[in-house]
Amino acid sequence: MQLSAPPYEERLTAPRSWWLISVLVGVSLALVLLMFGTLPMLGGLAGGTAVAAVVTSAYGSVRIRVVGDALIAGEARVPVSALGESEVLDAQEALAWRTYKADVRAFLLLRSYIPTALRVEVTDPEDPTPYLYLSTREPERLAQALRTAKAAARDGS
């Protein structure tokens, strides 16, 4: 039996400039420790860079996937049957939904370095969450994957 690839998978990786900042954190720590000698300076360079890189990697390791009949976004797992309409948000509209249009009950998967997003209504009456806001580089593709998964779940039942 061959497993098929999920219809949608995206990793919200941190931008390249954040990796440069990780190196600069290491350099900064090395400069602070320079007065204690060469060995502490090198330890500060290696340790500071490593810690900053781990933090950057962890922040950029969140994934959005549509697998089978579920949307998995970060730690949230929502069956597609509980989702309503999807709205593709351009950069300006995404900013509005991150700020003054935001509902405190909504699930927000925000990444400030990703300008576009997808807003998905939650139609489950048992769930107090009104919508999901998902930062994504490919909102049209994610919306299509959700429509496909919903149609497959409807046809399968």
pLDDT per position as a tens digit, 20-76: 999 999 999 999 999 999 999 999 999 999 999 999 998 888 999 998 889 999 999
Q: Which residues on adjacent β-strands are paired with residue 9? A: 65
Beta strands in 3-153, from DSSP E residues, in sequence order? 8-11, 63-67, 70-73, 76-79, 83-89, 107-109, 117-122, 131-135
Mean pLDDT of 120-140: 94
Confidence of residue 157 (pLDDT cuts 50, 70, 90): low
Report which of 118, 139, 123, 121 is spatially closest to residue 131, judged by C-alpha positions: 121
What pLDDT, on the 0 to 100 scale, is given for residue 6?
60
- pLDDT tens for 109-124 read 999 899 999 999 999 9
Residue 155 has pLDDT above 80, yes or no: no
**Rounded percentage of the chain residues whose pLDDT exceeds 90:** 77
pTM of the model: 0.82
Helix (H) / strand (E) element for 29: namely: helix 16-33
93's tokens: 């509209």
Inform me whether the pLDDT recorded for 1 exceeds 50.
Answer: no
Backbone phi, psi, residue 104, to 5° = -65, -20
